Amino acid sequence: MRPFLKWAGGKYRLIERIKEKLPPGKRLLEPFAGSCALSLNTDYDSYWLNDINADLINLYKTLQKDGPSFIAFCRTFFKDTNNTPEKFYELRQQFNTEKDIYSKAALFLYLNRHGYNGLCRYNSSGEFNVPFGQYKKPYFPENEMLYFAQKFRDAKFSCMDFQQMMESAGAGDLIYCDPPYVPLNETSNFTTYSTGGFSVVSQKRLAKTAALLASKGITTVISNHYSDFISEIYSTAEIIKFDVQRFISCNGNNRNAVAEVLAVFG
């Protein structure tokens, strides 16, 4: 099943490759849940899904709690009169000032499906600032949302630092991490390339936490770009390297093969 959200770096096309490296277990933890593509297409007894993006987790919790009635409310935003630049920026401003978490969750879905390339981006003031996407008729993911609500009706959702979550893992748990990737080249701003500042220190902290959990018998699988830096900090893991097609500019026809890795700790 496809995720109901568009999400940069989503793993839908790599699900089978990732699943090959996930051992049996009772509960799957995703500290960087994003669109939940992997969890949606696995069959564990339970799930703990975490992301540092509070708006994303609010949407998931609302869908989990209110299911069909919330989906019906979300649909009211998907009408032709709302698919204009003027209305998009009006609703984007409403989202940025909205205090009601129910309405804010529905607006987040609207922005995801009507905004440019499904991006999720905030300015330095914490305001969502993705521009209008100019789609003829944005897709309303009703079936995907219904599946999500049913699949994760008993799942645990949280919004916390990845290390805090990972260190709460216990017997029977396994972990899949899809963190913000390292830059593809040295000219990228390595210290602040993602919202929230997922830096060199954060990358090392993640690798160290995964290695520590492996010593306790808990397996962690991590996705990332391949680089000398990643090879170094993942030195205690099994490394599976492969090429994936990535957009390398805003030109949708400009694709390039990029080396990616799965690192298995444990």
Enter the DSSP assignment of 46: E
What does the alpha-carbon distance between residue 149 and residue 62 come to, in Å, rounded to a whole number? 9
What does the alpha-carbon distance between residue 189 and residue 91 come to, in Å, rounded to a whole number? 32
Is pTM beyond 0.95? Reply is no
209 φ, ψ to 5°? -65, -40
Residue 121's pLDDT is 95
Residue 193's pLDDT is 30
User: What CATH number does the domain located at 60-150 have?
Assistant: 1.10.1020.10
Write out pLDDT tens, residues 56-113: 999 999 999 999 999 999 999 999 999 999 999 999 999 999 999 999 999 999 999 9
Dihedral of CA atoms 219, 53, 71, 64 in degrees, nearest 10, equals 40
Residue 258's pLDDT is 86
The pLDDT > 90 percentage for the chain reads 86
> Can you name the residues that pair with 244 across neighbouring β-strands?
258
Q: Which residue has the higher pLDDT, 73 or 185?
A: 73
Tell me: pLDDT of 172 over 90. Answer: yes
Amino acid at 109: L
Residue 33's pLDDT is 98
Tell me: pLDDT of 164 over 60. Answer: yes
Q: 178, 221 in Cβ contact below 8 A?
A: no
> What's the mean pLDDT in 33-43?
98
From the options 3.40.50.300, 3.40.50.150, 3.10.290.10, 3.40.30.10, give the CATH code of 12-52+160-265. 3.40.50.150
What does the alpha-carbon distance between residue 236 and residue 14 come to, in Å, rounded to a whole number? 23
Domain boundaries, the chain: 12-52+160-265, 60-150
Residue 192's pLDDT is 34
Q: 110, 82 in Cβ contact below 8 A?
A: yes
> What's the mean pLDDT in 143-151?
98
Tell me: pLDDT of 266 over 80. Answer: yes
Pairing of strands 27-30, 156-158: unpaired
Residue 6's pLDDT is 97
- Mean pLDDT, the chain, whole residue set: 92
Residue 246's pLDDT is 65
b (16+ CB within 10 A) / e for 132-166: bbeeeebebbeebbebbbebbeebebbbeebeebb
Q: 127, 116 in Cβ contact below 8 A?
A: no
Tell me: pLDDT of 188 over 80. Answer: no
Question: Which stretch of DSSP H or E encloses residue 230?
Answer: helix 228-233
> Can you name the residues that pair with 240 across neighbouring β-strands?
262
Could you tell me which residues come within 8 angstroms of residue 4 by beta carbon, excluding any fewer than 6 positions away?
Answer: 35, 109, 141, 144, 145, 148
Write out pLDDT tens, residues 117-132: 999 999 999 999 999 9
